[in-house]
């Protein structure tokens, strides 16, 4: 008897069960949460990048924002970022969700 055989017992293939509908539903729910989290991360990243893009923009003229525009510019950046991430995005969400699934041992 080797040292390995005393530690690891053989697996009985008949004791393994096929995935049930409940486990499949739980797995689908977990995949959905991961996708949602990755999409929120992408939106957050885009919001920061869009906010930086608008930093140097100065508006003028009769409808050129002023203090009100400066105050609500971050909300505008967030709205743009969420809309972009909701669509095809920039590919960050798919990479993040793939890595999250890999870290959790899921496919």
List, for residues 14-38, the tens digit of each pLDDT value: 555 556 777 788 888 888 899 999 9
What is the rounded CA–CA span in Å between residue 59 and residue 62?
10
Model confidence at 51: pLDDT above 80: yes
Asked whether 39 and 86 are in contact (CB, 8 A), the reply is yes
The label of the residue with tokens 């990755």 reads: 38
Give pLDDT, residue 45: 95
- pTM for the predicted model, two decimal places: 0.68
Asked whether 39 and 93 are in contact (CB, 8 A), the reply is yes
Give pLDDT, residue 62: 66
Cβ density class 9-23: b for 16+ within 10 Å, e for less: eeeeeeeeeeeeeee
């Amino acid at each position: 008897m080797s040292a390995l055989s005393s530690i690891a017992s053989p697996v009985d293939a008949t004791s393994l069960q096929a995935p049930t509908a409940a486990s499949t539903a739980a797995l689908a729910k977990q995949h959905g949460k991961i996708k949602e989290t990755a999409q929120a991360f992408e939106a957050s990243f885009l919001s920061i990048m869009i906010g930086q893009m608008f930093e140097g923009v100065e508006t003028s003229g009769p409808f050129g924002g002023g203090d009100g525009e400066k105050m609500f510019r971050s909300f505008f950046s967030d709205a743009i970022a969420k809309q972009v991430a909701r669509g095809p995005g920039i590919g960050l969400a798919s990479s993040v969700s793939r890595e999250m699934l890999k870290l959790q041992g899921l496919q």
